[in-house]
Structure 1
Amino acid sequence: MRLPLSRVLPVALAVLAAVACLPVSAATASVRGPVPYVFPVDHPTYIVTVRRDLDPAEVAGLVGVTPVHVFRSALHGFAARLSPAQVAALEVLPGVESIEEDGTASPGWTF
């Protein structure tokens, strides 16, 4: 049994009007941006570069560090939160080329 369009259309319009009048949920109205992850340790993050013939993850493991990120393209090294003792231990390891505290880069000039 088919219903004629003249009977279905008013009901469909009434349903659509009722749905359109519903309030927007408070959960969707107050969506904020992503919250950055905060590390539980208060040590700063360092970028450590090593020689190309070394595995960066293995070098990090030598001082008891789990890298936040391992670089194998433009840089060859890792990023990790390091204590002052771990920085000192990395400084004397052969094959470690540089240890720099992570930060924000800027061009140094203004318009």
Structure 2
Amino acid sequence: MDLSKTEFRVSAHITAGYDVKEIASKFHRSYHTVASQIKTIRLKNKLKNLAEISREFVLEFGDPRHYIAMVFLIIQVGLFFNIEDDEYKRTRKTKIARTKIASKKHNG
């Protein structure tokens, strides 16, 4: 299947059994945006309906529940590391400020 990142996510959720309204709500998108993405998926891959999208997705990528669980895990890990990055940045700024103060005392 020829899919963009967003089309891949939409296809995975279709295959997992979500309807268009649920997908739109989950991605914070308009119903019409998701419907348009589904239409694009169908046209790009010469598919007729949602069942064919699901069939092709499973044949090419496997069970979508694994993908959805992995995305959830990546988001959780990303949130953890962003917190760590912010602490690192604060610590680094503090060290730089202390170094500048120390060098002023030493030079002046």
Check whether TM > 0.5. no
Greater helix proportion: 2
TM-score (norm. length: structure 1): 0.23
Structure showing greater Rg: 1
TM-score (norm. length: structure 2): 0.24
